[in-house]
Amino acid sequence: MSGLFGTDSARGITVTELSCELAMQAGRAAAELLAKEEGGKIVVAKDSKLSSDILEAAVCAGICSSGIDAETLGAVPAAAASYIVREHKASAGIMITGAAGISDASGIRLFASDGFRLDERIQDELENYAINRSKSSAQKKFDNIGRMLNCTTAAEEYMKHIKSIMSTDLAGLKIAVICEENCSGLTAGKLFAELGAEVDMVSVSENDDAGFGAEVTDLERLMDQVAAGDYCCGLAFGGDGGSCLAVDENGSLVDGDQLLAIFAKYYKEQGKLKDDSVVINTMSGLGLLNFAKDNGIKTVTSGAAGRSVIDRMMEGGYNLGGDRNGHVFFMDDSPCEDGQLCGAKLLEIIKKTGKKLSELAGELKKLPQISLNVRINDSSREIWKNDQSITDLIEWYQGEFGDTGRVVVRESGTAAPFITIMIEGSDFGRINSIAVEIAERIKQRCGIKQ
């Protein structure tokens, strides 16, 4: 790990990189900087990974050793933790969760007292405070320590909140649901059943009791089950419950771009879309941009980082935004991306309109897309943007496409920087050759030498 915090949270291989010592420092820093008032408390939630237990203990030890109470919620979705922070009037919230795309890694996500992600400036201050404090002398004697409080109703409170948002029941809808992490599974099945839907939970790959082969992904399991059954759709909740992808009644995937299109159009028709605008990120597809234009919806583009969409929404006062990975933000209802809220709202639209999901999603016409990643040297960070050999090639192809395609090139990565080349257009063969040419030019100019 390079430092304590990443873009959205502290993260690293559990125990070896994200150690108990670092977790304790994070808890102390949060307590001493975010809960200064006497009697303050910090909410601590986690996912269902075994490694989350020891990190929870370390975080709580850091909080309580600084004289602040730690209220544990157990394993719940991150959106539930965000909601409870506000409802229980906590000074801050901490969510211990798996790191995206890394099976043995964990992360520590921070929420402010209003339930939103912690501001990056404050997060940087916390990191510096925690690291400098760990280098100082041992903690001085203190008169009080914080208490360990245990909340056993967090999941129920969260589900009650979701149900209060819904304006119709889901009776008559049969759905299949799959959850990547059990912190979503603990609430998803019960929530949608209590909303009136008939729910079948689909087993994930680690528990292969449904007869699927080990090579089949969780989404493919869901797609196969929906296609073979009498379902109106399937819902897939990923990670800490923040993302939602759907499968239509025919077993076809409905991604985040299509979900945003459905919500944006419906909200606009209902007069609920603020400024008739939706916030998307730079990697959202051209199909979504075309759909929005055709339906009189303005698009506001944020950066590609995980927190960029919500930051842009807060800056402009927008109430709907998201990305193609299924992170959808409903600012009127939640300060956090919430997969189960997204799924409930999608089912509500299906029920109220009487339309099939394939019909709703089919209004967005997707274009072929290809994406390639090129590793670059640390010394080439940001510098490649001023390399005329690279920029001229990108501009040439963007000019060739005009309004019929798109070239997006951006830098990503912290410890290992890389450049992503994303091309969209009507001819897959053509966009593939363009992506390869740009990737080769970047490799020649600033790529990692083999």
CA angle 134, 139, 141 (to 5 degrees): 175
Q: Are 61 and 20 in contact (CB under 8 A)?
A: no
Least-confidence region, from 82-86, 140-144, 331-335: 140-144
At what angle are helices 339-353 and 256-269 packed, to 10 degrees? 50
> Is it true that 9-152 and 369-446 share their CATH fold?
no
Q: Are 323 and 281 in contact (CB under 8 A)?
A: yes
Mean pLDDT of 8-27: 67
Three-class secondary structure of residue 152 per DSSP = coil
Percentage of the chain beyond pLDDT 70 is 86
Domain 9-152 architecture: 3-Layer(aba) Sandwich (3.40)
For 207-259, write each residue's pLDDT tens digit: 444 444 444 578 999 999 999 999 999 999 987 889 999 999 999 999 999 99
Sheet holding 69-75, edge to edge: 9-13, 105-111, 92-98, 41-46, 69-75, 148-150
Alpha-carbon distance of 382 to 419, in angstroms, equals 10
pLDDT value for 123 = 83
Domain boundaries, given as residue ranges, for the chain:
9-152, 157-361, 369-446
Q: Check residues 216 and 44 and name the one with the higher pLDDT.
A: 44
Place of tokens 């269902």: 48
DSSP character for 427? -
Q: Tell me which H or E stretch contains 341.
A: helix 339-353
For 338-365, write each residue's pLDDT tens digit: 999 999 999 999 999 999 999 999 999 9
Burial 323-337, CB ≥16 within 10 A → b, else e: bbbbbbbbbebbbbb
Alpha-carbon distance of 343 to 353, in angstroms, equals 16
**pLDDT higher than threshold 90 for residue 129:** no
User: Which amino acid appears at position 11 of this protein?
Assistant: R
Of 339, 45, 332, 76, residue with least CA distance to 192:
339
Q: Are 185 and 110 in contact (CB under 8 A)?
A: no
Please give the CATH number for the structural domain made up of 157-361: 3.40.120.10
Q: Check residues 61 and 3 and name the one with the higher pLDDT.
A: 61
Alpha-helix residue ranges (DSSP H) falling in 295-338: 308-316
* pLDDT band at residue 13 under the 50/70/90 scheme: very low
Alpha-carbon distance of 367 to 137, in angstroms, equals 59
Q: Are 337 and 243 in contact (CB under 8 A)?
A: yes
- Counting Cα atoms < 13 Å in the Cβ hemisphere of 399 gives 6
* pLDDT band at residue 142 under the 50/70/90 scheme: low
**pLDDT higher than threshold 50 for residue 189:** yes
Alpha-carbon distance of 1 to 105, in angstroms, equals 11
Alpha-carbon distance of 434 to 394, in angstroms, equals 9
Mean pLDDT of 25-43: 86
CATH among 1.10.3720.10, 3.30.70.100, 3.40.50.720, 3.30.310.50 for 369-446: 3.30.310.50
Structure tokens at 375: 């590793």
Alpha-carbon distance of 80 to 77, in angstroms, equals 5
Mean pLDDT in the chain?
Answer: 87
Alpha-carbon distance of 407 to 394, in angstroms, equals 7
